[in-house]
Amino acid sequence: MAPPPLLRLDGVRLTFGGTPLLANVELGVSPGDRIALVGRNGSGKSTLLKIAAGTVEPDGGEVFRQPGATIRYLAQEPDFGDAPSVEAYVAAGLGPADDLYRVTRLIEGLGLRPDARPGDLSGGEARRAALARVLAPEPDIVLLDEPTNHLDLPTIEWLEEEVASIRSAVVIISHDRRFLEKTTRATVWLDRGRVRRIEEGFGSFEAWRDKVLEEEERDLQKLDRKIVREEHWLRYGVTARRTRNERRLAGLHQLRADRKNARRATGTVEMQVGDTRESGKLVIEAKAIEKAYGERVLVENFSTRIQRGDRVGFVGPNGAGKTTLLKMLIGEAEPDAGTVRLGTNLDLAFLDQKRASLRDDLPVSEALTDGRGDQVMVNGEPRHVAGYLKDFLFQPEQIRTPVGNLSGGERARLLLAKTLATPANVLVLDEPTNDLDMETLDLLQELIANYPGTVLLVSHDRDFLDRTVTSVISPEGNGCWLEYAGGYTDMAAQKRGAQTEARKAEKSAVKPAAAPSASRPAGQPSTKLSFKQKFALENLPKEIAKLESAIAKAEAEMADPALFAKNPDRFSKLAKESEASRAALAKAEDEWLELEMLKAELEG
């Protein structure tokens, strides 16, 4: 028998303006649940979590919380109040029976200083402090609204492990596909005020969603055809004109009402980049550049050559120097040593993760045009702001809305609209994925993949990097940065390969006398390999060659720049197969090396 739910929402309704945001929504959370809550920006996901947490009251319906159950909610914008320190802020979230040790462990695990003042924290540090406060009590239910925003990759991976280890039920809103795939076992889709649920993690959601939308579109087409038939009867049916069949006429009116009230899936963002001249073949050439602040070295002896059409990703922990390196490469900051040469005919468009180019007091239309009229130039042609903003899912009534009243997702779309309207042949995107919904991310990925110019991209979104970039620049420590071919998964595989080679070199340096003897029979030294060892030694080279061939074949297919746009599922499958093959290859190579060393010892 299934355990009773810790939290239950039945028939929850909420309306802002004329259109219901939530209509008879149901949501159940049971012990141990790992739920992904997904939906378009503005669909009401955050509002639904706030209702579950008790910070927003619905217009109707029932909210049941099991007596004694504890619920903690991570808001997108943490409120530190008057907490004097990070430690005091985190500890204030504990209950009377909670363990103070978890406060210390989480603060250390998240790389925070316990005595730091909350007002002095960066965006990433503030998010980590809020996570520590929510997770410290180990509540019965944890509600996480965009927990990965402003977090670097090491912290995201730490959070994945923490979510997997805690006993709490978890409901997560996130745009980070990889994070959701690794942390969830059920998916709730909030769409046009209604919810649908599948008892599978996010990895199965998108295929299921597409199938649901296709079936819904077929149903609407059937309804349209039925309306046409009934209207034909009304106009031309002899019996209809003579008897005035009121029942059938009323049925037609109902069909029309149903069709009018049928809310189709929210439209998709229409994206195109402002057209401009073609840049020279060489875009950026850096030679031995360095940058330090006092004794802290951010970049040391880094060189790279970026050409037209390259799509380069920058990854690394917060504070590693990604933005500093990027600014040196585009000429916004001077290196302490070395040279940076920019190519000819460069026109840059810059997307700032801090949304610094958006003033809260300006209306949306003026923020888009910088106050220069009601038109924006896109690809050399004037577009009215209303029509252009509609491409980015803004409603006509939002044109005069102050930027400060927009949600995080709406601000992200507005800044994206402004950036893409700028004529450019080099796109510089600093954390473009923050606050964007997955459908908008899909279109941004497609735009980057098909963009004829050059893209420089800073992101912590592993899936987004895998789908967009041709190379990744990553810090290795002490100011050293290396460039890897491929996306994030390729970079991680290459780093593992380098570590494997280092282990091999260490083993090769070991004298034969120090070779492991665990493979010898107990009690007496062996003078030859066992049959199993000989068989493995003979067959491992074949297995290694087979794995290398499989990796090369997968990478050759993934190298096709059109593959992701045509078949994203195939691209994802190839990436996972390639990663698994690399892991198997590293294991096989290690085993072969150990057997070769044992053979040399025995023969020696």
Q: Binding site residues for ATP, as ranges?
A: 39-46, 316-323
Secondary structure element (H or E) that encloses residue 293, with its range: strand 282-293
Strands 7-16 and 60-65: antiparallel
DSSP per-residue string spanning 377-436? EETTEEEEHHHHHHHTT--GGGTTSBGGGS-HHHHHHHHHHHHHHS--SEEEEESTTTT-
CB 40 within 8 Å of CB 437: yes
Backbone dihedral angles phi then psi of residue 57, each to the nearest 5 degrees: -95, 130
Q: Which long-range contacts (CB under 8 A, 24 or more apart) does 540-545 make?
A: 540/588, 540/591, 540/592, 540/595, 541/592, 543/588, 544/585, 544/588, 544/589, 544/592
CA distances from 513 to 42, 507, 520, 579, 600 (A): 68, 12, 14, 35, 10
CA distances from 27 to 171, 341, 470 (A): 11, 56, 41
Q: List beta partners, residue 142.
A: 72, 170
Residues 6+ apart with CB under 8 A from 440: 41, 269, 413, 416
Tokens 């880094």, residue located: 302
CA distance 540 to 532: 12
CA distance 303 to 280: 19
Q: Binding site residues, as ranges?
A: 39-46, 316-323
Length of the chain: 604
CA distance 550 to 546: 6
Cα distance between the two ends of the chain: 65
CA distance 277 to 138: 56
Tokens 């491409």, residue located: 391
Residue 451 DSSP one-character state: -
Collapsed DSSP state (helix, strand, coil) of residue 215: helix
